Amino acid sequence: MNPIPALEIRELRKVYATGVEALKGVSLSVQPGDFFALLGPNGAGKSTLIGIVSSLVNASSGSVQVFGVDIAKNREAAMRLLGLVPQEVNFNFFEKPFDILCNYAGFYGVARAEAKRRAEEELRRAQLWEKAFTTARTLSGGMKRRLMIARAMMTQPRLLILDEPTAGVDIEIRRGMWRILREVNAAGTTVILTTHYLEEAESLCRNLAIIDRGEIIENGPMKTLLSKLDVEGFLLDIDGELPAQLPHIEGIALHAEDRHTLDLEMPRAMHLNQIFAQLDEAGIRVRSMRTKTNRLEELFVRLTGSKEAA
């Protein structure tokens, strides 16, 4: 049996007519069945990237293959594989949820009887079945968002893409959406969502990429990223010269930046005083120190808007 190829994004660039370079050569793979977050601050290029993957925006260069189907060479076939949940609620408020779903499926060529069957299934999954035949206008904000997900699932997409599905909605509404997304993913649909909430990516996703100013600055399992954020870095200026052999301190990475400067990485939970005492024993006197922030930390400060979070 042939395994399903991944979603492959290669060297994607996008320069808008205004001259803004929104993507500067982005490459990513998303495995079938994954729950993948694309995390980044406003203006990072998230919408542009998923706009290209879902064929709404043309790339300036690069390629995208959706599970083996090239979006430039075979746009229709690629589009049939994916469902998109846009940021803004965009269905007709005067229609009923059941009709919204059936008409959407009909537009994509799903036979009426099958569309009705799927509509019931999706409305039940979204906990909207009791609202199936009331006008959509009367739905709460959270229900409207869940209806958007139900609608995208009507074509049974292999890949569901959500553009900041929870931007500006309260935590209760977010949790309601997360539950459906987990269910959809557990049933086999690959999910990609863009978000600027780390907490959301952490709660839902197995893998993620962090995009900043049109570039991927981090890509891998969520667990790996979180462990990186637990580490703090310092540059220590030393009195005199460092010894040729640096001491070994449990749990700490030490290396000589130059003969008078020590680069130190340590778990956030650890106390600097303990480390200073051990350095002192090894004859290393610290004169002053600077925090060494990395790009990831800087990004998190910007994402969360708070210094404590980094």
Taking CB under 6 A as the criterion, the residue among 30, 34, 35, 48 binding ligand ADP is 48
> How far is Cα 282 from Cα 150, in angstroms, rounded to an integer?
63
Taking CB under 6 A as the criterion, the residue among 45, 157, 165, 176 binding ligand ADP is 45
- Least distance from ligand ADP to the Cβ atom of residue 61, Å: 16
Task: Give yes or no for residue 155 binding ligand ADP (CB under 6 A).
Answer: no
Taking CB under 6 A as the criterion, the residue among 34, 35, 37, 46 binding ligand ADP is 46
Task: Give yes or no for residue 185 binding ligand ADP (CB under 6 A).
Answer: no
| Residue 30, both tokens | 């998303």
> How far is Cα 182 from Cα 204, in angstroms, rounded to an integer?
7
Rank residues 199 and 258 by Cβ distance to ligand ADP and give the closer one.
199
- Least distance from ligand ADP to the Cβ atom of residue 244, Å: 48
- Least distance from ligand ADP to the Cβ atom of residue 112, Å: 37
Closest C-alpha to 197, from 30, 85, 23, 42: 42
Rank residues 8 and 21 by Cβ distance to ligand ADP and give the closer one.
21
State which amino acid sits at residue 174: R
Per-residue binding string, ligand ADP, 13-32, x by CB under 6 A, is ---x-x-x-x----------
Closest C-alpha to 205, from 213, 218, 214: 218
> How far is Cα 124 from Cα 139, in angstroms, rounded to an integer?
15
| Residue 190, both tokens | 């690959």
Helix (H) or strand (E) holding 98: helix 97-107
Rank residues 206 and 213 by Cβ distance to ligand ADP and give the closer one.
213
- Least distance from ligand ADP to the Cβ atom of residue 164, Å: 7
Rank residues 167 and 270 by Cβ distance to ligand ADP and give the closer one.
167
Taking CB under 6 A as the criterion, the residue among 4, 42, 199, 223 binding ligand ADP is 42
Those residues whose C-beta lies under 8 Å from the C-beta of residue 107, and which sit 6 or more positions away, are none
Task: Give yes or no for residue 72 binding ligand ADP (CB under 6 A).
Answer: no
| Buried b / exposed e along 67-100 (16+ C-beta atoms within 10 A) | bebebeeeeeebbbbbbbbbeeeebeeeebbbbb
DSSP single-letter state for residue 80: H
Rank residues 45 and 176 by Cβ distance to ligand ADP and give the closer one.
45
- Least distance from ligand ADP to the Cβ atom of residue 306, Å: 19
- Least distance from ligand ADP to the Cβ atom of residue 38, Å: 8
Task: Give yes or no for residue 44 binding ligand ADP (CB under 6 A).
Answer: yes
Contact 276, 286 (CB under 8 A): yes
| Residue 133, both tokens | 């035949």
Pairing verdict, β 207-212 and 215-221? antiparallel
Q: Where does this chain bind ligand ADP (CB under 6 A)? A: 16, 18, 20, 22, 40, 42-48
